[in-house]
Amino acid sequence: MARAATGLGVRDLAKAAGVSPDTVARLERGEDLRESTVAAIRVALENAGVEFIPENGGGVGVRLAKR
């Protein structure tokens, strides 16, 4: 959902995070990845304008940051 909101393709996000496109696909399928890999992808998404929303009674989520 976060990747789609930014308009990034799998390859674009993978390049920004320094991981392979297959790794991004594995994350999107819900497979387990190393914490450092997830952190790299998260930073890349945050740099693209994604804000991660913590659990607040309605569940965790994402939104685009105000520019």
Contact (CB, 8 A) for 23 and 33: yes
Q: Give, as one character, the DSSP assignment of residue 58.
A: S
Which range of residues forms the domain containing residue 19?
2-64
Q: What is the pLDDT of residue 45?
A: 93
Query: Confidence band (pLDDT; 50, 70, 90) for 8?
Result: very high
> Is the pLDDT reported for residue 61 higher than 80?
no
Indicate if the pLDDT at residue 52 is higher than 90: no
Catalogue the E-assigned strands of the chain. 50-53, 61-64
The model's pLDDT over 18-43, given as tens digits with 9 standing for 90+, comes to 999 999 999 999 999 999 999 999 99
Kind plus residue range of the DSSP H or E element containing 36: helix 35-47
Taking the whole predicted model, whether its pTM rises above 0.75 is answered as: yes
At 17, which CATH number?
A: 1.10.260.40
Q: How many domains does the chain have?
A: 1
